[in-house]
Every structure is written in structure tokens, then in C-alpha cells.
Structure 1
Amino acid sequence: MPTASKPIRELADVPIHTLLLRTYLQLLHSRPVLTKALTSGILSALGNLLSQNIEQRRKSKSSARNVDLVALLRFAAYGLFFTGPLSHYFYLFLEKVVPSSAPMAGLRRLLLERLIIAPAFLFLFFIVMNFLEGKDLNSLNKKLKDSYWSALKMNWKVWTPFQFINVNYIPVEFRVLFANLVAFFWYTYLSKTRK
């Protein structure tokens, strides 16, 4: 004898935020790298778009807004192909190398991320952006010489508390999202406060 199925709640009855969260969690489970890559790409592009908008408002009183689509695509590409996938594998690697049960795991995780991964990731950012901007090796060398050390010091200063929380308290499957959201809000804040 067939069993009666339970009625399924109409999708119209489910709030959109619940549907989005449910879909995100399902995708995070079934396709974690792709989901994190897409999330990173989208949030990077949105952060760049918001930053451009804030910068244009500051410079001009006119209502006409020009979006630098090439810059937006550069940030989206970096998030999609680098931030999302590399961060996914780094956080998994970190769990294996420094499990929660290891002595002083929190400090060891933070030091590994801050002293090895952050400098390498920032260096990669400079290289990829230089390439995507169509600039040559001389331009990269100048940019590294002029900006890398100050950018790294700022990274250590700003990101250390967030990364401590991320690598020690955020579940591994949500660490890329947490870092993306912090970056989004941080760069938005910087855009608003820059003179």
C-alpha cells in the first residue's frame, strides 16, 4: 500500500532569505570550491562597485555615475579564481596541520596565517592585478617596492583580530565567507573614510 506523502510547503510561503540560505548551504555541501569561488567573485565585485560609487560621490556632486567595468571584472576574477579556491584549500590544510587539539592551536594557526599565508597572498594579489591591468614587470617591481610593505603592515594591523576569530572560532566551511564579508565591509569603510 503506498504511503501518503506529506504536503510540501509552497515556495511562496518561504521567506526569500530562508530560500537563499538553504540554497547556499546545499551548494556549500555539494560543491564547496565552486560555491566559495562564486561567493568570493560576487562579493569582490560588489565591494569594488560600492567602492567606486563612494569614490565618485566624493569627487563629484553630479548624479551621473560611471562604473569602471574592467576594474569590477578584475576584482571578480581575482575572487573567483584565486581568493575562493585558494582560501578553501588553505583552511582545510590549516585544520590538518594544526588541529584544534594541538597545544596552543589558536596561536599557531594565527601565526601560520599571518606570517606565511598573508604575505604570500598579498604578493599574489599584486602579481595578478598587475597582469590583469596589462602592466609590465617594471610596473610590478615599482608597485611592490612602493606599496607592498605598507600594505602588508596594514594587513597585519587590521586583519589579525578577524583572522584570529576566523581560524579559531568559525567553522571551516564558513571561513571563506567570513573573510569575504569582513573584506567587503572593511574596503567599504576605507572607501568612505579615505580623503
Structure 2
Amino acid sequence: MGSLAKKGLNKYLSQLNQHPLRTKVITSGVLVALSDVTSQKLTGIQKLQLKRILLKVLYGCLYLGPFSHYLHQILDKIFHGKRDTKTVAKKVALEQLTASPWNHFVFLVYYGLIIEGRTWVQVKAKVKKEFPSLQLTAWMFWPFVGWINHQFMPLQLRVIFHSLVAFCWGLFLNVRAKSVTLKKS
């Protein structure tokens, strides 16, 4: 690894150790922004929608980063930091049956109300229509990610690993939403 990249990584890990919540919040916001910028470009948006990007950064910083930070701490506390196969399976199951549906619900509501500016009635209808397929799709992908995360990642890196994968998941969701919109037109 080049010396500049190595210095950057070491500085990042140092910040992660000294200020774990702050570092995860900032990382989450940056990755959400990068995911949205990439999604906008992939879906053919010519001029970046800065308001949308900023609203997603707020979501990443005020919700995703802190939620993920505390979720992983709580899971580690509940299961006493164990990483044996049975414990990892329990962690993944608990995460997938609680945090996953909750996060997808919160995202759909936030996106509809705040980013798209829809009414509560419209958002409720959209959540009712889209949530089941979104969650089923998530359950085909995220348990594998959760397994890797809980089995191989140290606690301090779990949110970062999850956020990097969520970057790709965000691309998928945005491209999927765009293709659904195109099919309707």
C-alpha cells in the first residue's frame, strides 16, 4: 500500500479509536453521499440534485451512523463478544428480524416524506406496496453480509464494513427505484 494511503488509513483508524461514534457518523454521511451521487449519475440524472444529497447525508449522519454504532455495541454486549458459529447465527437472526425491517421502514418513510416531499397518506401507501419486496430482497443478501461482519470483523470495524456494503446496497435501491419508475412511464 502506498505511503499516502497507509498514512490516511492509520489516521482514520486512530480517529476511529479516539472518537468512534463521531468517525462512524461522518463515514456514514460521506458514504451515503457518494452512493447517492453515483446513483444519480447511473440513473441518468444530468445535474446533481444537491438538496437530495444533503438530505441523505443528514439521514446517514443523524440516523444510520449512530443507529449502527449502538446496534453493534448492544449485540456484542448481549452475546458477550462471542464469535462461535451458534452465537453468530443468533446475532445475524436478531439483526435481520429487528434492525433490518426497522431500517428499511425508516428509510422508506424518510425518503418519501423528507426527500420526495410526499404526504403521509402517499408514503403510507408506498411503504405498504414496496416494503414487503424490499425486505424480502434484503433477506436474500444481508444475512450473508451480517455473517461476515459478525464472524470476521472486529467490533470497531463492523459499522464501517456494513456502511461500505450499504454503499452498494444504496446503489441497488436507487437503480431499482429508477427502473420501476421507467417501467411505469
Select the residue among 40, 43, 49 that pairs with 1:68. Answer: 49
Q: In structure 1, what is the equivalent of residue 162 of structure 2?
A: 179
TM-score (norm 1): 0.82
RMSD over aligned CA atoms reads 2.2
Contact 2:91 2:150 in 1 (8 A): yes
Aligned AA for 1:98? F
In the TM superposition, what is the alpha-carbon distance from 1:146 to its structure 2 partner?
Answer: 1.1
In the TM superposition, what is the alpha-carbon distance from 1:103 to its structure 2 partner?
Answer: 8.1
Point out where structure 1 has 5 or more consecutive residues left out of the alignment: 1-13, 58-64
Distance change (3 Å), C-alpha of 1:92 and 1:56: same
TM-score (norm 2): 0.86
Structure 1: 4+ residue segments shifted above 4 A: 189-195
In the TM superposition, what is the alpha-carbon distance from 1:191 to its structure 2 partner?
Answer: 6.2
1:51 equivalenced with 2:39 (yes/no): yes
Q: How many residues align?
A: 175
Q: In structure 1, what is the equivalent of residue 182 of structure 2?
A: none
Q: Which of the two has greater helix per residue?
A: 2
Aligned AA for 2:127? L
Select the residue among 57, 60, 63 that pairs with 1:82. Answer: 63
Distance change (3 Å), C-alpha of 1:190 and 1:119: closer
Worse-matched range after superposition: 101-110 or 143-152 = 101-110
Select the residue among 101, 104, 116 that pairs with 2:98. Answer: 116
In the TM superposition, what is the alpha-carbon distance from 1:28 to its structure 2 partner?
Answer: 0.5
Q: Which has the larger radius of gyration?
A: 1
Which digits, 9 at most, give the CA deviation of each residue in 1:146-194, with x for residues without a partner? 1111111111111110111112221111011101111213444666787
Aligned AA for 2:71? F
Select the residue among 123, 127, 142 that pairs with 2:109. Answer: 127
Distance change (3 Å), C-alpha of 1:101 and 1:22: closer
Distance change (3 Å), C-alpha of 1:150 and 1:33: same
1:141 equivalenced with 2:129 (yes/no): no
Which digits, 9 at most, give the CA deviation of each residue in 1:68-115, with x for residues without a partner? 112211221111111111100000000011121778201110110011
Q: In structure 2, what is the equivalent of residue 165 of structure 1?
A: 148
1:40 equivalenced with 2:28 (yes/no): yes
Percent of aligned positions with the same letter in both sequences? 29
